[in-house]
Amino acid sequence: MTASNSLIGKDINQADTPALWVDLDAFEANARKMLALCNAQNVRWRPHVKASKSPDLAQRLTDIGAQGITCAKVAEAEAMVAGGISDILVANEIVGETKIRRLAQVATRARVAVACDNIHNIEEISAIASEAGVTIDILVDINVGANRCGVTPEKAPALAQMVQELPSVHLRGLMGYEGHVMGMQPEDKEAASVKAAEVLSEAQSLVQAAGLRVDILSGGGSGNYWHAATLGSINELQAGGGALMDVSYQELMRLPDHQYALYLNAQVISTAVEGRVILDAGWKTTGRHTGLPSISSHPGTEVVSLNAEHTIVSVPEDLQVEHGDRITLIPHYSDSTVLLHREMYAVRHGIIEDIWEITGAGALR
């Protein structure tokens, strides 16, 4: 961690820039809103932390009431278990001896479930888990329309039966992630979510008809969680990014009544060009593959473009901005912003309460 603990209790504007920070009041309100919907529907909340990549933030979510956490890579699971998280779903196919051996090591310290859509993959997980003396839970991955991973419902019973018969793996249930619906227009999103739910329910019926138990039905993302959690097809919700919020979740995915919670402070380093100011944070700080960040601190200003190390901001004539001024940005997409940093400040009413390490940054394997 590069930030000093001496900043705790100080104003966020005293942190050197670029400074990634979380508004704790907004973050907690978003998290409680998602949890409340889950509780009302008898759905467990297992938020995905692929955006935050911070065990400290994950612990805040479990303190609020999350069942455990979801992640995408073994390296993320390793970071989470090292940070004290003990109930982890890797909502992805983990293939190859090297990764599976690492997954088995995680399973010595936490309850671990993993998504599978291939018999040979299940056999390899079983063999390595047996050697390591651990049990790994399996969710059979169902293709509910994203056409990325997952089997069709009619193929699910055979995979589930294989898990049932093999040692050191435990059939925990099914996963059907409908990633393809997240950016749809509201008028299309509900119908697509219903269709995805029907596919997962079909798989559940077929697996149960084969005499197998389905304890977990996992799915839903931040872009449709208010549909996914209320359709009766899942009992665990994976959505997690909505707790942080960003421009993509607000403008593209249209999350209802969430507050921006993730911010980035940058510093004005040049005012030499009339009508614009230059900040000390470019796309190496914010990411840019989904769009440009917004500005929350200075009404009337707008991000024009991003270079590697600079943000170019247009400034109205009547606004005075000076060298060294802090400007607060709202990242366009938290998934492609947080991983570029090594810590984030936990801030309440402008004051730094804690500094959270982002130990999952760079966790790609």
Dmax over Cα atoms in the chain, in whole Å? 73
Helix (H, G, I), strand (E, B) or coil at 5: helix
CATH at 72: 3.20.20.10
Average pLDDT over residues 348-363: 97
Please tell me whether residues 298 and 207 are part of one structural domain: no
Please tell me whether residues 15 and 145 are part of one structural domain: no
Cis peptide before 18 (omega within 30 of 0): yes
Instruction: Annotate 54-95 with three-state secondary structure.
Output: CHHHHHHHHHHCCCCEEECCHHHHHHHHHCCCCEEEEEEECC
Structural domain contains residue 138: yes
| pLDDT, tens digit, 9 for 90 and up, residues 110-158 | 999 999 999 999 999 999 999 999 999 999 999 999 999 999 999 999 9
Helix (H) or strand (E) holding 190: helix 186-209
Distance separating alpha carbons of residues 346 and 354, to the nearest angstrom? 5
Please tell me whether residues 34 and 163 are part of one structural domain: yes
Mention every residue, 6+ apart, whose C-beta is less than 8 A from residue 221. 48, 177, 178, 179, 181, 182, 228, 238, 239, 241
Please tell me whether residues 164 and 116 are part of one structural domain: yes
Whether residue 178 has pLDDT greater than 80: yes
Helix (H) or strand (E) holding 29: helix 24-40
Instruction: Check residue 289 and give its pLDDT.
Output: 87
Instruction: Check residue 365 and give its pLDDT.
Output: 96
Name the domain count of the chain. Answer: 2
Please tell me whether residues 87 and 164 are part of one structural domain: yes
Average pLDDT over residues 38-64: 97
Whether residue 288 has pLDDT greater than 70: yes
DSSP conformation class of 341 = -
Instruction: Check residue 362 and give its pLDDT.
Output: 92
pLDDT band at residue 4 under the 50/70/90 scheme: confident
What is the percent of the chain with per-residue pLDDT over 90, rounded to a whole number?
A: 98
Instruction: Check residue 93 and give its pLDDT.
Output: 98
Instruction: Check residue 1 and give its pLDDT.
Output: 59
Please tell me whether residues 14 and 45 are part of one structural domain: no
Q: For the chain, what percentages of helix, strand and coil (3-state, to nearest 5) are there?
A: 35, 25, 40
Average pLDDT over residues 13-23: 98
Instruction: Check residue 2 and give its pLDDT.
Output: 67
Please tell me whether residues 220 and 320 are part of one structural domain: no
Average pLDDT over residues 274-290: 96
Average pLDDT over residues 47-58: 96
Domain that holds residue 229: 24-244
CA distances from 364 to 53, 79, 99, 141, 352 (A): 11, 11, 11, 21, 29
> Pick from 211, 244, 277: which residue ends a domain?
244
Torsion of CA 165, 170, 173, 174, to 10 degrees: -80
Please tell me whether residues 262 and 125 are part of one structural domain: no
Please tell me whether residues 43 and 148 are part of one structural domain: yes
3 closest CA partner among 362, 342, 350: 342
Average pLDDT over residues 229-247: 97
Place of tokens 């399996």: 138
Please provide the average confidence, as pLDDT, over all residues in the chain.
Answer: 97
